[in-house]
Amino acid sequence: MKLHTIDTGFFKLDGGAMHGVVPKSLWNKKNPADENNMCSWAMRCLLIEDGNRLILIDNGIGTKQDAKFFSYYYLHGDASLEKSLHAKGFGFSDITDVFLTHLHFDHCGGSINKKDDKLSTAFPNATYWSNETHWAWATKPNAREKASFLKENILPIQESGQLKFFNETDELIPGFKAWFTYGHTGAMMLPHIQCNGKTLVFLADLMPSAAHIPMPWIMAYDVQPLKTLTEKEQLLPKAADENYVLFFEHDSAIECCTVEKTETGIVRKDAGSLADFFGK
């Protein structure tokens, strides 16, 4: 098994929303805001190469929305999904599986292409993986999350016949399981991947950045922040004890880290790129 970081570019979100109840005097030191109180965030995905399977976890914001939509999010940087895949020697048609942690637009927007007002799946030979609970949550959204669940990102997957549902007891390939979480959104899936004797946890939006490791650092976007707190309390002690490598989808600088227990709580230990932990 080989693991590859796939960078799809950066966008900006409100710093206060991203850090919840934590005061700006603290979070601004970790994730500095611009004059509009916006912080820069990565849209970092993971590619797993295993035998004849090529599995892409999440796929960024995509390119099909209009200029007005993108103007809200200040897209920047030179990276794109297409460029990053090509840099690894792959194209969209090579992907066998697209595993979607959840269906917010910045995680699944690259799933669908738009040409001449016609929508089609961007990965023609892939199975798209969601789960039944989250699919129902996203296709019948609550008012709070409705703006994050865009029908054009979601419904064409089902219409294509490429959609399958994953269960918490399933294993996508040997060493690939997922933990279902409910604090950020309904039934978000966090892949746990065994590779080279280590466990990699793809954190999605449970902890979008390394700054979110401390227990109270929870996004205001989360639908059940106290549930997020409980889920962090479940994951982080085990991550420290078993030396999990934590993969950050949105940290603008840090791809991965391990954590350790201290007298003041669980803190970041070693940080680096995916290649630093798993090799090239």
**pLDDT value, residue 279:** 87
Domains of the chain (ranges; CATH) run 2-278 (3.60.15.10)
**pLDDT value, residue 150:** 97
Report the distance separating Cα 166 and Cα 231, nearest Å. 20
Percent of the chain at pLDDT above 70? Answer: 100
| E strand or H helix at 260 | strand 256-262
Neighbours of 160 (CB within 10 A): 17
**pLDDT value, residue 54:** 98
Handedness of CA 242, 247, 250, 253 (dihedral sign): positive
pLDDT > 80? residue 255: yes
**pLDDT value, residue 90:** 98
- Interval 155-190: pLDDT, tens: 999 999 999 999 999 999 999 999 999 999 999 999
**pLDDT value, residue 280:** 76
Question: Quick check: 150 and 139 in contact, CB under 8 A?
Answer: no
- Tell me whether strands 256-262 and 245-247 are parallel, antiparallel or unpaired: antiparallel
Q: Is the pTM of this model over 0.95?
A: yes
- Interval 9-66: pLDDT, tens: 999 999 999 999 999 999 999 999 999 999 999 999 999 999 999 999 999 999 999 9
- Interval 116-150: pLDDT, tens: 889 999 999 999 999 999 999 999 999 999 999 99
